[in-house]
Structure 1
Amino acid sequence: MSLRNVVFIALIAFAVWQCRAAETVSLGPGVKVDNAPVQTKINNSETFDFNDFLITPLADFSLQAKVLSREDYWLDKESELAPTDLALGWQNMSDESVLSQIDIRQSGRWYRWRVEQFPIPRRELETQSANMHIVPADDHVAAMLDLVNSGQIISLKGQLIKAQAVDGWHWQSSLSREDTGANACELIYVTELVIDQS
């Protein structure tokens, strides 16, 4: 890829980022999502082909959550499968009076946060939010994903998955909301996505 194309893509990404920042939704203080995500193990799941990847469902998964941040990707191998990451929060991490005291950023497929002083216990911050790699199952889900902005409340359903490519590349979802750091993100094949509050 030429330097000119890289610069062009970088400028488009920056413009999209600025538009997204301007579209951040404020719903006011108070917990907006009472419940944690729901996960159910799948026994004897069947692997299927999807966009030149082999997908193996690991668990059924559903949630309602506040969108803390979103990041779109174009250049990495993972973007062929999951073009968008959503940092999502529930319970105390859906309360804007808490979130206003936390600096939240995404980059390189990571969700990062920084605080001057913890507004809630650190463990609540870690276990009531997560970075989730979103794999749209169809064009309708992809179109809905395009409409998602920071601050909204969304609901989604699908499966936590393992993905493999013929060249040996693989990517697997975390199966816990309790983990942190590398390999703690969820990789979700999303079959239903709804914006509940915007």
Structure 2
Amino acid sequence: MPRWLILALGLAVGALCLFAWATRPSAPATVATALPAAGGGGQSPVGCALPPAFTDPNQPLQSPVDGRMSPFRFGPATITPLAGISLQARVLSREDYAFGTEADYSPTDLALGWGPMANPAASDRLDISQGGRWYRYRWGPEGPPIPVGDIVRSSANMHMIPADDAVANALGQVRAGNTVRVNGWLVRIDRDDGWHWQSSLTREDSGGGACELIYVCSISGY
């Protein structure tokens, strides 16, 4: 093989490796800090208090904030917890993002299925894909494997915001087909420049605005 061709192939492989490293999910570099109390005082790092844990693995548990988590600063933005979320689900697909404002907060989306959509006999009969911060599914000429309403109520695309490096590392290990447990907070992000991003607060919706935006305190399983 000509030397120039060997060199060209080596450079191409190196470029692919560099791209893979550059787009690897990681925790946002910004440190979350508590909002200062009225009357002054500095900011302190924010912990990630766990919400109440689910008791039914077939159904996510959404719970009130109840003072467990207060709004906090995250770089040039305020993150406001809207509800607790705790669930067990099968990973239907994952997609990583390295560009765009959303990626500054959420480097990974997980399409998750619970209840009937956690059953491979149903979900594996769907053609599932992600892109542009959306989760899509299609079925063949035989029709959907379960009623469409059950697909909507038992799956969702979830934008994951890792609370720290440990969560980011755990999230990086997740693959399609895994079963995971996720605990965190459905949030709204308000940037100082007017940009905002808000989570859905129901598992009954679909289409624009139906995705969950989760500040993830813990993710485990696999």
> What is the aligned partner in structure 2 of residue 12 from structure 1?
19
**Unaligned stretches of 5+ residues in structure 2:** 1-14, 25-55
Query: Among residues 122, 147, 170, which one is paired with 1:144 in the alignment?
Result: 170
What residue in structure 1 maps to residue 188 of structure 2?
A: 162
Quote the residue 2:63 is aligned against: 40
Spell out structure 1 runs of 4+ moving beyond 6 A.
none
Offset, 1:41: 2.1
Distance 1:193 1:50, change over 3 A: same
CA distance in 2, matches of 1:136, 1:109: 16
Normalising by structure 2, we get a TM-score of 0.72
Deviations for 1:115-141, whole angstroms, at most 9, x for unmatched residues? 121110110011100000000001100
The secondary structure found in structure 1 opposite 2:144 is coil
2:76 and 2:96 mapped to 1: Cα distance?
Answer: 20
Look up the equivalent residue of 2:113 and give its one-letter code: G
For residue 145 of structure 1, what is the amino acid of its counterpart? Answer: L
Deviations 1:117-170 (A, max 9, x none): 111011001110000000000110001000000000000111100001111110
User: What TM-score do the two structures reach when normalised by structure 1?
Assistant: 0.81
Equivalent position SS for 2:170? helix
Tell me how far apart the structure 2 counterparts of residues 189 and 105 of structure 1 sit (CA, whole Å): 23
1:110 offset after TM fit, Å? 0.2
The DSSP-based 3-state class of the residue aligned with 1:113 is strand
Is there any run of 5+ residues in structure 1 with no aligned partner, and where?
Answer: 1-7, 18-32
| Matching of residue 131 in structure 1 with residue 185 in structure 2 | no
Coordinate RMSD, CA, aligned = 2.0
SS for the counterpart of 1:46 is: coil
Asked if structure 2 preserves the Cα contact closer than 8 Å seen for 1:51 and 1:81, the reply is no
Higher RCO by CA contacts (8 Å cutoff, separation 6 or greater): 1
Aligned partner letter, 2:191: A
For 1:184, the equivalent position in structure 2 comes to: 210
What whole-Å deviation, never above 9, does each CA across 1:79-127 have from its counterpart, x for those lacking one? 0000000000001101111122100000000000001211101100111
Q: CA deviation at 1:43?
A: 4.9
**Larger Rg over CA atoms:** 2
Partner residue, 1:67: 91
